Amino acid sequence: MTEMSEKHVIKKRESTPIQRFFIWITLLTAAVFVLNIILSDLRADNGWGLFYGAFAAALLLLAALLGVRRRVMRFSSRYSFFKAEPWREFHLYGGALFLLLMLMHSGFHLPTGILNGCLFALGLWTALSGFVGWGLQKWIPKMLTSGLSIEVNYDRIPELVVEIRKRAMEQISVCEDPIRGFGTEKVLPVLQRPTPRLIYFFDITGGLSSMMRECNYLSRFLPADQKQQLNNLMSLYKTKLAMDAHYTLQRPLRLWLYAHLPTSMVLLVLVVIHIVSVFYF
């Protein structure tokens, strides 16, 4: 396509304003840090250190607003400001910068005291779990999309598996041996319920090929109509494996938030206590 496509809405994705904003802020922070090292000590309780701490706390608060937006959106998106994507971007870059500032605030040392220790550990955990989640969100969708031909809604998988099993049983009931035996012994047990298996992380087909070998071997000795019956059965089997793959891989997409969200909330509370204690004592 020539001249027209440029006129259209298609654009290669360039850096977003939020990305550019964070690049500048990070550069500025780095400059301040260099000045700090040249001009003064790296301590939490001097002006420089307090600046890093206050900046980190502000970012923490802003990052946590993503959760507020998502919750508000659930009861009315009339109150959800701007598109969701800039919020998420702000969260990712802001969260990463928070980690950097927290380390600068602590002077790249392990802090002393229980509260400070907890703050440090939780901050580290929240940011690192955030990075893990970010990675999962990038990697798993690609894996699911390129490796599987079906797309399925996680919550619907159990009911769909029941449906598949029902159809397989119907199919088997009209078959004779050896398909009947093969179906009852090898296929039906697999169709019992959604089965998350680690293997899908490495082989998205879930070891389908070895089962297919067995099936092809069996198929060679069958007349044409029975071959068709076996094929039908195997296509149900393949669909079930694809669903298991979705079940296995979509699950961490949901579960990782449980590693991230609660600690981030505790972190927020501890930071408030930390700030109050610093100013009062």
Partner 1 sequence: MFNRKTDKTKPAPGEKTILKEIEQYKDRWSSYGGNTGILSFSEKLSVSSLKTFEIFQDYDDAFLAKISPDISVATWKKDAILFTEGDYVDLAFFVVSGQVSITFQKIENDDTPFIQPIFDEERTMMMASHPIQLAQVKNQRLVKVSSPEEHTIPFLASIDFALPKGKGTTLGAGELFGEIGAMSGWPQSVTARVAVESTLVQIRVPALRLMKKKSSALKARIDARYKERSLLAQLKVTPLFQNCKPAIMDRLKEGVDLISCAPDEVIIREGEVSDAIYLVRSGFVKLLQRFSEGEMMVSYLSKGMFFGEVELLLSELSRWEMTAISVEYAEIVKIPKALFCELVDLHPAIEEVLWEMAASRIKEAGGSKRNIEASELMETAVHSGLVQANSLLVMDLNTCTRCDDCVRACAATHGGRARFVREGNRYNNLLIPKSCYHCRDPVCLVGCPTGAIARTGAGAVVAIDDRICIGCSTCANSCPYDAIVMHPTGTVWPDDMIPTGLRGRDRFVASKCDLCSDTGHAPACVSNCPTSSALRLHSLLEFTALIKKETVDP
Q: Which residues contact ligand HEM by CB under 6 A?
A: 60, 63-64, 66-67, 70, 88, 91-92, 95-96, 98-99, 126-127, 130-131, 133-134, 137, 257, 260-261, 264, 267
Q: Helix 84-105 to helix 17-39 angle, to the nearest 10 degrees?
A: 10
Q: 206 — alpha (psi -120 to 50), left (phi > 0) or beta?
A: left
Q: Which does 2 bind (CB under 5 to 8 A by kind): ligand HEM, partner 1, none?
A: partner 1
Q: Which does 156 bind (CB under 5 to 8 A by kind): ligand HEM, partner 1, none?
A: partner 1
* Min CB(224)–ligand HEM separation in Å: 51
* Min CB(105)–ligand HEM separation in Å: 13
The CB-nearest residue to ligand HEM is: 130
Our CA angle for 112, 25, 33, nearest 5°, is: 45
Q: CA-CA distance, 195 to 252, in Å (whole number)? A: 14
Amino acid identity, position 213? R
Q: Which does 261 bind (CB under 5 to 8 A by kind): ligand HEM, partner 1, none?
A: ligand HEM
* Helix or strand holding residue 67 (H, E): helix 47-75
| Residue 51 vs 201, nearer CB to partner 1 | 201
CA nearest to 171, candidates 237, 85, 264: 237
C-alpha distance from residue 199 to each of 156, 180, 192, 206, 208 (Å): 22, 28, 18, 6, 11
| Residue 211 vs 242, nearer CB to partner 1 | 242
Cα-Cα end-to-end distance for the chain = 69
Query: Could you give phi then psi for residue 139, rounded to 5 degrees?
Result: -85, -45
| Residue 26 vs 232, nearer CB to ligand HEM | 26
Q: Which does 75 bind (CB under 5 to 8 A by kind): ligand HEM, partner 1, none?
A: partner 1
* Min CB(57)–partner 1 separation in Å: 24
| Residue 11 vs 220, nearer CB to partner 1 | 11
| Residue 188 vs 266, nearer CB to ligand HEM | 266
What is the C-alpha radius of gyration for the chain, rounded to an integer number of angstroms?
27
Q: Which does 1 bind (CB under 5 to 8 A by kind): partner 1, ligand HEM, none?
A: partner 1
Residues in the chain: 281
Q: Which two tokens stand for residue 175?
A: 């078959």
| Residue 70 vs 109, nearer CB to ligand HEM | 70
Q: Which does 96 bind (CB under 5 to 8 A by kind): partner 1, ligand HEM, none?
A: ligand HEM
